[in-house]
Structure 1
């Protein structure tokens, strides 16, 4: 009887030891896996201490909700003492530029904001750059292309060639004009011209307000021309030449940011693979370059709209 009870006790003890051994292994596993993740998260979100956030703005500029969310988070993050926008873009939609400009200005109201231009900051990308308090570019960067463009497709000759006729019943002559199915009437061209010039005046006013020259100089520089970094500095479109070290120097010497703070790249949340992202950016850029809706998923949707949604204005540098 005693031997049987001893056997039962030993089995109970082994079960208890096995349970606690399993718990110990689980705890060690959590520490091994969780600690690097916590450190990575802290580095990415600036929770390990004060830092300078760097945000890349590249490719076609559109209404990027994830990027806007990131900028809003950086504005409210007390551990982020300054923000650097690293810009390399030919521009994009005017609404995309406007929304990013306003989000950037919101940051600049509470903490230093600088722009570090790489190869290119043109059109809507320059609109974003002037939201910062200090713009640095390389000597051979391409800067400017201040202006607005509206492009539309006239496929009427092609349709005639293949024998396709498109008819429309409209509530008024200017509805859905200019149309890709027919040559644009002069009234439609005048209407679009007024739209383009109104947006252009708004863009020039931003440049006048944000750069250290008067309205006449802003208008002179806003003829769509692009400038090298050296020319842009001479024309006061940028504030200095260089890169990240020059931006850091300005932050530390002019804005009194603590010396030696780490510059940590912050990225918007991603929900797609790299291949799809590259394909989507290329498609959007191609559509915008043709004056089509960059949000369109297919060429017919870009040409004819989706759910009645038409195209829009773009501020995009397009060398020919």
Structure 2
């Protein structure tokens, strides 16, 4: 250890004071899952390094997650959640989640990684359910005189093909997958929230969303507020917030044209993202 480092560590004690509490602040914003074009969705690959950096801040009093997400891919949501919980338990550091505009579906799953969840009274919270969507083009290609040709090894490789008529057996299979994922989500909520939940599970796991004020009454969150006032009230006026931000990247037109379908991929990912946000009036 260098002399300058030692002096910096000893200075607070010489002055008769204590170091202010330090909170690493990690923003988790956007649709969860891989996106096309320049639009970066939240994935474990993209956030793991940031999560690790947040828990390496020293001295560390807590980690604060600032969440603004309408959800997305269930697996990516769970993987990010699990990485945060793993480090929180390993480092024995409390985690706060602060919900902004929306923490719904996978966004709420991210919030469940926290020991305390805080939302603004107007935040949209919940959507504890599973959804799948798509389009059917079989009638359209029939009108155009287009013949669909598909060959598989495995009878069910063409399930839910949008260019073939919908098969009732495929719907049953899809719903069974959704039910499995929904059960995992429900178990996560009950495991993390426990006795704090104030309504029967059947009322909470319908896929509905609520304002922050109503979510507090239901026990889905622990309080109302925003990050600075809440942390000052709980950790002291001198609490120090340390933002954990990703490195900025520069993209040229050539890079855009070669990424996941180029301009077409960018347009499609924008439509997909807007569709998720618009479900919550955003």
Matched, 1:237 2:220: yes
1:61 is matched with 32
Q: Does the 8 Å CA contact 1:116/1:247 hold for their aligned counterparts?
A: no
> Per the alignment, in what secondary structure is the counterpart of residue 84 of structure 1?
strand
1:296 is matched with none
Match of 1:174 among 156, 169, 188: 156
CA drift of 1:208 comes to 0.4
Q: Does the 8 Å CA contact 1:52/1:262 hold for their aligned counterparts?
A: yes
CA drift of 1:59 comes to 1.3
CA drift of 1:162 comes to 2.0
Q: How far apart are the structure 2 equivalents of 1:136 and 1:147? A: 21
Matched, 1:221 2:182: no
Give a deviation string over 1:110-141, Cα, whole Å, max 9, x none: 21110011111100000000110011111111
Matched, 1:287 2:272: yes
Match of 2:50 among 70, 81, 86: 70
CA drift of 1:163 comes to 2.0
Q: Does the 8 Å CA contact 2:118/2:223 hold for their aligned counterparts?
A: yes
Q: How far apart are the structure 1 equivalents of 2:240 and 2:152? A: 60
Q: Does the 8 Å CA contact 1:92/1:288 hold for their aligned counterparts?
A: no
Q: Does the 8 Å CA contact 1:60/1:281 hold for their aligned counterparts?
A: no
Matched, 1:195 2:166: no
Aligned length: 242
Post-superposition, which runs of at least 4 consecutive aligned residues in structure 1 deviate over 4 A? Answer: 273-276, 279-283
2:243 is matched with 265
Q: How far apart are the structure 2 equivalents of 1:121 and 1:316? A: 11
Q: Does the 8 Å CA contact 1:152/1:180 hold for their aligned counterparts?
A: yes
Q: How far apart are the structure 2 equivalents of 1:316 and 1:100? A: 20
Aligned-pair Cα RMSD in Å: 3.0
Q: Does the 8 Å CA contact 1:64/1:96 hold for their aligned counterparts?
A: yes
Matched, 1:185 2:146: no
> Per the alignment, in what secondary structure is the counterpart of residue 171 of structure 1?
coil
Q: How far apart are the structure 2 equivalents of 1:156 and 1:124? A: 32
Q: Does the 8 Å CA contact 2:136/2:164 hold for their aligned counterparts?
A: yes
> Per the alignment, in what secondary structure is the counterpart of residue 284 of structure 1?
helix
Using structure 2 for the length normalisation, give the TM-score: 0.76
Matched, 1:80 2:60: yes
Q: Does the 8 Å CA contact 1:61/1:91 hold for their aligned counterparts?
A: yes
